[in-house]
Structure 1
Amino acid sequence: MKKLILVLFFNLLFSCKEENKKEQLYPETIQTPIQLGQEIFEGKGNCVACHLVNKKVIGPSIQEMAKIYKDKKGSIIDFLKNDAKPIVDPSQYDVMKTNFIITKSMSDEELKAIEAYIYYNIE
Structure 2
Amino acid sequence: MKNLLLASALLFLVSCNEKASKTNSNYPAGTEPEVNIVEQGKVLFEGRGNCTACHKEDQKVIGPSIREMAQIYKTEKADMQAFLRGETPAIIDPEKYEIMKVNLEITKAMTDEERAALEAYIYSFAP
How high is the TM-score relative to the length of structure 2?
0.72
1:51 corresponds to which residue? Answer: 55
1:108 corresponds to which residue? Answer: 112
1:122 corresponds to which residue? Answer: 126
Per-residue Cα deviation, 1:25-71 (whole angstroms, up to 9, x for no partner): x9xx9311100000000000010010011110110000000010011
* Counterpart amino acid of residue 121 in structure 1: F
- Separation in 2, partners of 1:31, 1:52: 24
- Separation in 2, partners of 1:91, 1:59: 11
Other structure's SS at 1:30 match: coil
Query: Which runs of 5 or more residues in structure 2 are unaligned?
Result: 1-29
2:87 corresponds to which residue? Answer: 83
Aligned-residue CA RMSD (Å): 1.5
Q: Does 1:41 align with 2:45?
A: yes
1:70 corresponds to which residue? Answer: 74
Per-residue Cα deviation, 1:4-33 (whole angstroms, up to 9, x for no partner): xxxxxxxxxxxxxxxxxxxxxx9xx93111
How high is the TM-score relative to the length of structure 1?
0.74
Query: Which runs of 5 or more residues in structure 1 are unaligned?
Result: 1-25
Shift of 1:89: 1.1
1:97 corresponds to which residue? Answer: 101
- Separation in 1, partners of 2:96, 2:111: 24
Contact 2:74 / 2:126 at 8 angstroms: preserved in 1?
no
Shift of 1:90: 0.6
Shift of 1:86: 0.7
